[in-house]
A and B are shown apart, each in its own frame.
Chain A
Amino acid sequence: MKTNKFNTPTTKELELRNQKIPDGLWIKCKSCGENIYYKDLGKFKECPNCSYGMRLGAKERIEMICDDFEQINSDITVPSRFDDDKYQNKIKKAKDVTGLNESVITGFGKINGHKVGLAVMDSRFIMASLGIATGELLAKLFEGATEKQLPVIVFTASGGARMQEGINSLMQMAKVSEAINEHSKAGLLYISLITDPTFGGVTASFAMQGDIIISEPKASIGFAGRRVIENTIQQRPPEDFQQAETLLKNGFLDAIIKRSNLKSELSKILAIHEGGA
């Protein structure tokens, strides 16, 4: 006999209903831990609670920033001499997920009408680690921009040097720096835009070599990884350690800019460097 005047679903019915709810409607913010309804993230994928910008694919980032964009050297990829099966599988997976041949997209485009050379790293490609081809793409971008007399913006996100390519990946730090030197000597602007997460050899080279260095709220930025440090000092560093806000306080960033304001703020900086023209 029914005691409830409403039709209470059985456990089985509840299970069936639950199965019909699609995944991914609620997203947990990596920074503050809040569960957010996906629509509340908005088109910039920012946490409404703490302003942390969710990780983006490189193509998605370019769409947010550029009016138009043309990729260059899209065919450059990992040198064939690295034929280790495990590494090859990793590369194949990364290519399938991102549709890219390497961990960075480079090219030329316009931001609110301002012409720029642009590089965006994609953390889904082997943690956007700095491989030989990544270094080559970045060096070629700076060289192209020097020739065209254009500023460069690099969106970094990377775990650091790519271990699989050994010391050659370390040498890319010097190679990219060399191209930045040439670009800088021509009196051209380089804006480094550090996004979550940027570590190791990328922090220790081009991420920190910008004339202007900007980050997004709550981005993790550092040289040594947190776990390495914990093992060395045998204690846990504070929560805000290696966070953009801490780097700003300590003097290593020019500004932290929310993703939704980034395009307009970047165009202002570009305009100032065009002499207001």
Chain B
Amino acid sequence: MSEEKSAFEKVQKARNSDKISIQKLVSGLTNEFIELHGDRAYGDDSAVYSGIGMIDNQPVTIIGIQKGTNNEENVERHFGSAEPDGYRKALRLMEQAEKFKRPIITLINTPGAYPGVDAEYHGQGYMISQLILKGMQLKTPYISVIIGEGGSGGALALAVGDCVWSFENSIYSVLSPEGYATILWKNSSKVKEAADVMRLTPEELLEDGIIDKIIPEVKNDTDIENFKNMILNKISELSNMSVDDLLKKRFARYRSFK
């Protein structure tokens, strides 16, 4: 792994536009992937990229929250901030994965759930609460990976799996360092200081038991191959457990945060 970086450098790297896109990651991981759309209630949020596919011989459901690769996409996807219909689509596909006993992989790169008027009208808080509640009960292996930004409740909604991994250049936090500096210090320019005290880097999160593993940054095909093998190994480990044990262990993971 690379040399020590300041927390703020991690924040910048996590947000950098050269970060691998969720689509690219998915196409590298899978030999087959079919995108599935829609929440069957209201709409189809393109901030949530999701579907079914095969990783080698292993069927999986993959759900990602993604930023755009250009301006147009970013506007469409609210810079990777999902709306309630995106979360509802995620929940629908998770429950479908459970039905077919398919492992679930979530790939997270979001600054947070979208703060908009329509999002509030359509139950942003409710949908996140349901993803947390129901996600934790899914009777199938569930692996969460923070790819870039893991922003607040909007990220947690897809990060209540059996294990939570972080890419080397990623952050996971209760709110953005900008928000932290503004709210707690009334000074939005103290972003660096905020990043320093928030313990949002993968190394700190691992030390605090919030995440279970740091994944070397995925940039090329070799990295993807390594990442793929980690996922396959974890799936096979989790699949060997009885459903009761799987859920017990998952519940214990989240009960332990003191």
Contacts and interface: CB of A to CB of B under 8 A. Distances in A.
Given A204-B128, A204-B153, A223-B128, A181 B116 contact: no
Contacts of A232: 114-116
A223 B116 CA distance: 10
A241 B160 CA distance: 30
B69 interface: no
Contacts, number: 146
A22 interface: no
B129 A207 contact: yes
- Between A161, A172, A181, A237, the greatest number of chain B beta carbons within 10 A of the residue's beta carbon is seen for A181
Interface string B186-203: 000000000000111000
B244 to A, nearest CB: 12
Question: In which size bucket is the chain A interface?
Answer: 35 or more
Interface stretch (B14-22, B170-178, B234-242): B170-178
B121 A205 contact: no
Given A170-B174, A228-B115, A132 B258 contact: yes
Interface string B122-157: 111110111011001100000000000000110011
B123 A166 contact: no
A223 B113 contact: yes
A200 B151 CA distance: 13
Nearest to A84: B197
Interface residues of B, number: 43
Contacts of B116: 224, 229, 232-233
Task: Tell me the interface secondary structure of chain A in the complex.
Answer: helix
B119 A181 contact: no
A31 interface: no
B120 interface: yes
A229 B115 CA distance: 5
B133 A180 contact: yes
Interface string A157-177: 000010111111111111101
Contacts of A170: 152-153, 156, 173-174
Contacts of A214: none
Nearest to B155: A170
B255 interface: yes
23 contacts: A132-B257, A135-B257, A166-B173, A166-B174, A166-B198, A167-B205, A167-B210, A170-B153, A173-B153, A174-B156, A175-B257, A180-B133, A181-B251, A200-B153, A204-B124, A204-B125, A223-B119, A223-B124, A224-B124, A229-B117, A232-B116, A250-B123, A251-B123
Q: Which 4 A-B pairs have the closest CB atoms?
A: A224-B115, A203-B125, A223-B125, A171-B257
Given A206-B129, A224-B120, A250-B121, 9 more contacts: A161-B152, A168-B208, A181-B137, A200-B153, A201-B174, A203-B126, A223-B120, A224-B124, A237-B117
